[in-house]
Structure 1
Amino acid sequence: MRVEELLAAARAELDRLSPAEAAEVQARGGLLVDIRYAALRERDGTIPGALIVERNELEWRLDPACEHRAPEATGHDLPVVVVCDEGYASSLAAVSLRRLGLRRATDLIGGFRAWRAAGLPVAR
């Protein structure tokens, strides 16, 4: 299988969200999770209120049953929107969270770049 096929299969499992839809999920108490690496966050800013979790720690920090989970990982029913820079790695990460039982995990179409382009809040 090629990475393009893996990505397409992952996205077929997700109800991906536009920036406006992701902002609405956050406003209703859902969790936005920024998995971009530090250099991108420093360069471009962050989404106010988003949980910052490097990709290599994502499953440990979001699994509600893990002793290393973030306090924000309150349960398997929590709406989680994974955000990467352009919306590729986030699709694969969201499917990984679904495999852990976070059935409402999805990702942001276009990633942080789309969020910023939509004029949504960015913290520097």
Structure 2
Amino acid sequence: MTPPRPPGARTIDEILADRRRRLRRLPPTEAYARVRDGAVLVDIRPAAQRAAEGEVPGALVVERNVLEWRFDPQCAARLPQATGYDVEVIVLCSEGYTSSLAAAALHELGLTRATDVIGGFHAWRRAGLPVTRPAVPAT
């Protein structure tokens, strides 16, 4: 039996839908074109996932747990790519769920050009876009 929700509680599906309303999410081919035009592709997947699935050559790896600190233009821990609030950041996760939440968090920092890839790395690979082979063979 599901416990009753406390007042104000929302499901993850409701939260995800709310966050996605802020984004203009990109199909993999459009994301690839934007990256070729200067957008920063940020892979937020954990190391084990990247090893098992492969990687996108040239993607900046920033694991999800530190993303906001690395892209906040006001933070001392920011990356050199965090050049200001107008930087175009395209977030990539495995299937396109966590990346939506992460891109919405970047919006809250003022990076309103942040978005994510519809379908994540799996869709990127299915689209025939550049990827490396997994470091760990699938079992």
So what's the TM-score if we normalise by structure 2? 0.87
Percent identical residues: 59
Distance 1:77 1:45 in 2: 29
Structure 2 residue identity aligned to 1:79: E
Deviations 1:81-111 (A, max 9, x none): 1100000000011000000010100010000
- Alignment counterpart, residue 92 of structure 1, candidates 89, 94, 101: 101
Equivalent in the alignment of 1:105: 114
TM-aligned CA deviation for residue 72 of structure 1: 1.3
- Unmatched segments (≥5 aa) in structure 2: 1-9, 134-139
Equivalent in the alignment of 2:72: 63
TM-aligned CA deviation for residue 123 of structure 1: 2.3
Equivalent in the alignment of 1:54: 63
Q: CA RMSD in A?
A: 0.8
- Alignment counterpart, residue 86 of structure 2, candidates 67, 74, 77: 77
- Unmatched segments (≥5 aa) in structure 1: none
Deviations 1:18-51 (A, max 9, x none): 0001001100100010000101111111111111
Distance 1:31 1:123 in 2: 18
- Alignment counterpart, residue 47 of structure 2, candidates 38, 42, 65: 38
Pairs aligned (count): 124
Structure 1 residue identity aligned to 2:20: R
Distance 2:131 2:42 in 1: 14
Give the number of the structure whose residues are more often helix, by fraction.
Answer: 1
Structure 1 residue identity aligned to 2:97: Y
TM-aligned CA deviation for residue 120 of structure 1: 0.2
Bigger Rg over Cα: 2
Deviations 1:63-95 (A, max 9, x none): 122110111111110111110000000001100
